[in-house]
Amino acid sequence: DAGVIQSPRHEVTEMGQEVTLRCKPISGHNSLFWYRQTMMRGLELLIYFNNNVPIDDSGMPEDRFSAKMPNASFSTLKIQPSEPRDSAVYFCASSFSGGPTYEQYFGPGTRLTVT
Amino acid sequence: DAKTTQPNSMESNEEEPVHLPCNHSTISGTDYIHWYRQLPSQGPEYVIHGLTSNVNNRMASLAIAEDRKSSTLILHRATLRDAAVYYCILRDINNAGNMLTFGGGTRLMVKP
């Protein structure tokens, strides 16, 4: 398996622009997570899906952020409009919640820079 | 989920064992202890997990105190590639969604 795939790997955009981050989870996994990592706040869970349904979005910072999972093999995280404080590395992770370890597999991340 | 406390950083010599401590004094009976690590410029990766008994796998060993208020991740022979941030996380067994709350972790530096 190729693991969790994220695109783009790097994104540089100007303040006010819309940004869309993409994630393809590992085939067969039924849980998907979006995290954000910054030096100041560390690794934060933004939202979590189970069987394509958003279960907990309490970590989404504000209405400018939205996430969707239209099917089991694809998810997006959208920021509109983007702001410089959104600059961070965004990780997507997936897991199989029925497995023995509940291990989460992380993608390589998308480094977002908003100028 | 209950909180964990880890040292900010630790240093080790290459090819020597490393013991990474984690305190979780408020752990509940349904909390699993998970360890993840994050290598530079990569996403976190699972290392090991346990509930009550000590655990071994190809990457590391996990020693859990009898009262479960602390645990230690043991790398038997550190290599330069083990330099990473190590996170100790508690996950409630009733947390069917497998949500994880990451703290600051311990930054392990390995000297050649």
CB contact under 8 A, B49 and A101: yes
pLDDT value at A86 more than 60: yes
The answer to whether residue A43 neighbours chain B at the CB level (below 8 Å) is yes
- What residues have CB less than 8 Å from B30, skipping those under 6 apart? B92, B93, B94
**C-alpha distance from B40 to closest chain A C-alpha (Å):** 11
- The pLDDT tens digits for A7-59 are 999 999 999 999 999 999 999 999 999 999 999 999 999 999 999 999 989 99
Question: At B96, is the pLDDT very low, low, confident or very high (cuts 50, 70, 90)?
Answer: low
Arithmetic mean of pLDDT over chain A: 94
Q: Which two three-digit tokens encode residue B92?
A: 């409630």
More confident residue, B53 or B97: B53
Question: At A62, is the pLDDT very low, low, confident or very high (cuts 50, 70, 90)?
Answer: confident
The answer to whether residue A49 neighbours chain B at the CB level (below 8 Å) is no
Nearest CB neighbour to B98, from listed A42, A44, A102: A102
3-state secondary structure of B81: helix
Q: How far is CA B86 from CA A93, B40, B41, in A?
A: 17, 11, 14
Contacts of A104 in chain B (CB under 8 A): 36, 44, 46, 98, 100
pLDDT at position B100 is: 86
Cross-strand pairs, A43? A37
Cα A105–chain centre separation? 12
- The pLDDT tens digits for B56-74 are 999 999 999 999 999 999 9
Peptide bond into B7 cis (omega under 30): no
Residues B106, B90, A41, A104, CA torsion sign: positive
- The pLDDT tens digits for B85-95 are 999 999 887 77
Nearest CB neighbour to B101, from listed A45, A105, A106: A45
**C-alpha distance from A20 to closest chain B C-alpha (Å):** 19
Report the number of secondary-structure helices (H) and strands (E) in chain B.
Answer: 0, 9
Q: Which two three-digit tokens encode residue B107?
A: 């930054």
CB contact under 8 A, A43 and B46: no
pLDDT at position A73 is: 96
pLDDT at position A99 is: 63
Nearest CB neighbour to A45, from listed B32, B99, B105: B99
* Weakest mean pLDDT among A31-35, A56-60, B14-18, B21-25: A56-60
pLDDT value at B1 more than 80: no
pLDDT value at B82 more than 70: yes
Nearest CB neighbour to B43, from listed A91, A95, A101: A91
CB pairs < 8 Å spanning A and B: 55
3-state secondary structure of B82: helix
Cross-strand pairs, A83? none
CB contact under 8 A, A43 and B102: yes
3-state secondary structure of A85: helix
Question: At B2, is the pLDDT very low, low, confident or very high (cuts 50, 70, 90)?
Answer: low
Contacts of B97 in chain A (CB under 8 A): 31, 48, 50, 55-56, 97
Mean pLDDT of all residues in B24-38? 93
* Sequential DSSP letters for B45-72: EEEEEESSS-EE-SS-EEEE-TTSSEEE
| Whole-number Å distance between alpha carbons of B85 and B19 | 14
CB contact under 8 A, A56 and B99: yes
Q: Write phi, then psi, for B62 (nearest 5 degrees).
A: -120, 120
